[in-house]
A and B are shown apart, each in its own frame.
Chain A
Amino acid sequence: MNPSPSNPLLEQFLSEAHDLLESIGKQLLQLEEAPDDQGILNELFRSVHTLKGNSGLFTWPEMTRVLHAGEDLLGMVRSGRADYSRELADHLLEAMDFVDVLCREIESTERIDAARAAESESTAEGLRKLMPSEAATGNAGQAGVNLASAALPSANVPGEKLPLGSVPEAVRMAAFRHCREGDGLFWIDYRPERECFFHGDDPLNSARHCPGLLWGRVLAPEPLPALRELDTYSCAVGFHLLTSASREELAEYYRYLPDQVEISAVAPLLLVIPQGSLDGPAADGHFCAEALRMLQAADLASLRPFVQAMLDGSRAESWLASALRWLLCLLEAGPRWIGDNTRAVSLLIESLESFIAPDWASPKAVTLAAAESIAPTADGLASASPQPLSEDDRAAWDHILAGQRQILALEDRPAWHTGRLQAVATVLTHLCHMAGGPSAASGIQAALAEALSSGRNAPLMAWLDAHENLQLASVISALPRPSEGDGAGPATPGANAATVFEDNSGKTPPDDGIRFGRRAEDAVNGPRVLKVDQAKVDRLMNLIGELVVSKNALPYLAERAESQFGVREISREIKSQYAVINRIADEMQDAIMQVRMMAVSFIFQRFPRMVRDISRKLGKEVQLVLEGEQTEADKNIIESLADPLIHIVRNSLDHGIETPEVRVAQGKPAAGKLIIRATQEGDRVVIEIMDDGKGIDPAVIKRKAYEKGLIDEAALERMGDQEAINLIFAAGLSTAAVVSDLSGRGVGMDVVRSAVEKINGTVLLHSQLGKGTTIRISLPLSMAVTQVMVIESDQQLFGVPMDHVVETVRVPASAIRTIKQSQTALLRGRIVPLKSLNTLLGIAAIPKTNSDDELAVLLVQAGSAELGLLIDGFRETMGVIQKPLNGFLSSLSAFSGSALMGDGSVLMILNIREIV
């Protein structure tokens, strides 16, 4: 056994995981046969789900992640949202193999190497890719907020921008000062999964301890339900974090919840978002022109006080003051940085006049502000072509316009009418800016001035009527993404936020609600099976063996009572008691054998997968038929049969079955047929592996064997076809022209034969050229009790396994002929060589004859030949529990083991193959 894990829970997990993986593999293959079978699909889903649940007991995010992805995918197949395909099966099988590898790793080291994380991620990703796209992004928790992610070059998807505007200005400025030299700055969108409390997670706690945390906030992606509907134990909040930690640190910190966090790199310039009230006056053109001139001249010494003076003169909460503070913040970065980012600074200065924050994401701003520190990130931001509006943005746009229209339609003239008009004009200006048509904004200003002077809404309304249907409608489909600076605008943040959260609401898998119900189903599903350590069964087995032996002492005792002490009464009573004990012991022995019995399906179940993989690799089509999977045999037998069978199946696939083209050309069906059949014949199990492939050509085998020096020329001439085919079991012979990774290295069939013979089995091979090959393996049902025939020779008793005994005959001494030096006899028309057991064992005595001058001959089968053993006499046959010879005795190859007889004497079991 493997070094078993110290933790019983872990041990159980591994044992269950093994079973589950086996059945998942099997179900996947079954599903390939019948893709529409909901029953198998449900079973499969449940298996994966259970395994995932179990893995969650331990902290193995690598394993859970893959299983989770598999579960999601199967969930979709089950509900008809994804189609079952070969590709899907391939991915799932591969994922399960990966889980299997992890299980093995855990078994030996009790942990998973952290280096597996990447592999796990890619495997899970592979599974997620198979999901229908919209669901995949939703399930994977892709909140779509990855616009600024440097790691994702494809980040310029029509997505949302980070709501950086919600970060307080002071924090942003501090972050900017910290990061402008190119240090990493990351935005984390952390959406804990709903059941996270059950895993012992406290998202707020982990958010508070996020490395390099600069700022964070709690938010509810969806409005929280009313108190009485609130589920305390379902996490409904999320977090936004801004951190200066490195990507590696973050990856390490969020190692266990990579699917719950969205980590996006933030270009420092994106933090520059002036915010504040817009009613104050804008900077006049003169100021801006002057500031730009100083900037061009790199006259920072004058520029800074100049801006400071302007800042002192404006209200601290106004937009202008905010923009000026940012300008100062940029200016304090030092001449080199400013030299690299002149364009960025001038954009900010220009915005002082327009009140429209610089669009750092626009290509114009980026290409010109091509500082090293920003460029890689900014490239990701830049959308070269205008992005179409998302569904939500369009709705927001329409809504805003309709709102302005409504305001303008109001007939009342309140005291704040002027402010109202200005507000409408501001909103329209921003909309124009979004539409990329700043030229239109001038029209608004004119209309506003007219409206203000006349005190009427009409001019603005007229502008709206004139532009909405023409210009706005045309740009609406080809609108550049809103600028980062729009956080300051009165309406757009709402629109953006709406889209952000819309996406996130899709994040929770829809089947979340029924998790608990499924658990209940799993429980009733478990078979009523007890798992017992094999050592315990073995011990029981040994004890019963001893019981059988000591029970066998009773008849001797009865005989002694009668013959030595002359008490017939006691003798009879002992005999009747013996009968009872004998019956019980037999039943016990039978029962324990049953416990050790295993169905051959234990080995068979791996074949569908193996045959599928190998045949696909070889480009062959194979139909595998398994028969008699319920046939049982002793566990040891079954286990030692696994390797030889795999060898044989591989050989059949590689050498036996032809490619579809060849088969069709020979008039066979394109798909080859491989039958593996197990049957019970008496006290033996017979396993046949039949293929309808090309068969074995005796001529080829003979030539090969000759080339490799396994046979000489004379043998080559003499050898019959069947004999030639049996050469395939000789060591060092391979018929494959090319050594492949499957077979052909010449260590195949001889290994098979020795493995089978080790468990007292035999292998036979029949092959018909062009028709196929059949390999027949015959094995004892159990190795525990061996039937032996007891024989006597030179007053010693020996056991001969019944498997080798052909017949027992008495031959008159006169019928024995000597041909050269060997004795022979004619038995049933065959010449049988005779050998004295005494000679073979080195005992200096000649075989005794009985009163009729007849010799006892035990005809045994040794390999393919028969041989007559000359012995002194036959005794009974009996079932013995054969013990291997240990220690120094193990070198006695003439005996395969020993057994205790009922009277306490030791019976040596002859190893027929060795002695003849």
Chain B
Amino acid sequence: MPVEYKKNRATLRDDVSVEEAEGLLEWLQNTPAAKADLSACSHLHTACLQVMMAAHANIVQWPHSAELRAWLEPALTSGDQEPAWRRPF
């Protein structure tokens, strides 16, 4: 299983495909203090990434792959992540 759910912690491993997106969404909806561990993740399908972005998931471990981390970290770090985002003045 690329995604393993334990109480409030999801561990994403290897290549997380689009099939996981629905499950991930459901789990994030039902888990208030959800945390995600991406350390062993090698790729995250856009659909899953999008779910995690919308959920402002709390990432406890970033991927080992620096390249993937560089993609995910700005997108998944909640708060002032994007200077280019449209915000009210």
- Which residues of chain A have a CB within 8 Å of any CB of chain B? 163, 165-166, 192, 197, 202-205, 207-208, 216-220, 223-228, 230, 232-233, 235-237, 396, 399-400, 403, 491, 493-494, 497-498, 500-502
Contacts and interface: CB of A to CB of B under 8 A. Distances in A.
Given A232-B22, A493-B83, A202 B46 contact: yes
Interface in B38-89: 43-47, 49-51, 53-55, 67-68, 71-72, 74-75, 82-87, 89
B19 to A, nearest CB: 10
Given A165-B83, A219-B84, A498-B86, A208 B50 contact: no
Nearest to B30: A227
A351 B53 CA distance: 38
A204 B44 CA distance: 8
Nearest to A171: B70
Contact of A197 (B46, B83, B86): B46
Nearest to A192: B46
B18 interface: yes
B54 A218 contact: no
B46 to A, nearest CB: 4
A197 B44 contact: no
Contact of A232 (B21, B86, B87): B21
A490 to B, nearest CB: 11
18 contacts: A165-B83, A202-B18, A202-B46, A204-B45, A204-B49, A205-B46, A208-B67, A218-B49, A220-B53, A224-B54, A230-B50, A230-B51, A232-B50, A235-B46, A235-B47, A494-B86, A497-B85, A497-B86
Contacts of A491: 89
B71 A208 contact: yes
A380 B89 CA distance: 31
The 7 closest A-B pairs by CB, nearest first: A224-B54, A218-B75, A497-B84, A399-B89, A204-B46, A232-B21, A203-B46
A493 B84 contact: yes
A203 B82 CA distance: 19
A225 B85 CA distance: 15
Contacts, number: 101
Interface string B21-35: 110010011000000
A237 B21 CA distance: 14
A217 B75 contact: yes
Interface string B1-26: 00000000000000000100110010
A546 B51 CA distance: 69
Given A218-B71, A227-B28, 4 more contacts: A204-B71, A205-B46, A208-B67, A217-B71
Contacts of A498: 86
B56 to A, nearest CB: 9
Contacts of B47: 197, 232-233, 235
Contact of B54 (A197, A205, A225): A225
Nearest to B28: A227
Contacts of B86: 223, 494, 497-498, 501-502
A217 B74 contact: yes
Interface of B: 18, 21-22, 25, 28-29, 43-47, 49-51, 53-55, 67-68, 71-72, 74-75, 82-87, 89
Nearest to B22: A232
Given A197-B46, A204-B45, A204-B46, A396 B74 contact: no
A235 B21 CA distance: 12
Contacts of B75: 217-219, 237
Nearest to A226: B54
A396 B53 contact: no
A9 B54 CA distance: 39
Most chain A CB atoms below 10 A, which of B21, B82, B87 = B82
Contact of A163 (B43, B46, B84): B84
A205 B68 CA distance: 10
B85 A227 contact: no
A226 B29 CA distance: 10
B18 A197 contact: yes
Contact of B46 (A225, A237, A396): A237
A163 B50 CA distance: 22
Between B54, B71, B74, the greatest number of chain A beta carbons within 10 A of the residue's beta carbon is seen for: B54
A220 B87 CA distance: 13
Given A197-B46, A235-B50, A228 B83 contact: no
Given A205-B43, A227-B55, A237 B49 contact: yes
Contacts of B87: 494
A497 B81 CA distance: 14
A232 B43 CA distance: 17
A230 B54 contact: yes
A202 B28 contact: no
Nearest to B76: A218
B28 to A, nearest CB: 6
Contacts of B68: 208
Contacts of B50: 220, 224, 230, 232, 235-237
A232 B19 CA distance: 10
A354 B18 CA distance: 51
Contacts of A235: 46-47, 50
A713 to B, nearest CB: 86
Contacts of B44: 204
Contact of A396 (B22, B28, B51, B89): B89
A230 B89 contact: no
B80 to A, nearest CB: 12
Nearest to A502: B86
A197 B19 CA distance: 11
Contacts of A202: 18, 45-46
A657 to B, nearest CB: 60
Contacts of B89: 396, 399-400, 403, 491, 494
Given A208-B67, A232-B22, A227 B46 contact: no
A500 B46 CA distance: 22
B42 to A, nearest CB: 11
B41 to A, nearest CB: 12
A5 to B, nearest CB: 30
Contacts of B51: 227, 230, 232
B17 to A, nearest CB: 8
Nearest to A166: B84
Nearest to B53: A224
A237 B89 CA distance: 23
A159 to B, nearest CB: 15
Interface centre among A202, A226, A500 (most CB of B within 10 A): A202
Nearest to A200: B18
Contacts of A197: 18, 46-47
Contacts of A205: 43, 45-46
A349 to B, nearest CB: 27
B5 to A, nearest CB: 16
B25 A230 contact: yes
Contacts of A216: 71
B53 to A, nearest CB: 6
B74 to A, nearest CB: 6
Which of B28, B47, B72 has the most C-beta atoms of chain A within 10 angstroms of its own C-beta? B47
A163 B84 CA distance: 7
A299 to B, nearest CB: 38
Contacts of B25: 227, 230, 232
Contacts of B18: 197, 202, 233
A225 B50 CA distance: 10
Contacts of A493: 83-84
Contact of A166 (B46, B71, B83): B83
A36 B80 CA distance: 52
A219 B83 CA distance: 11
Nearest to B49: A204
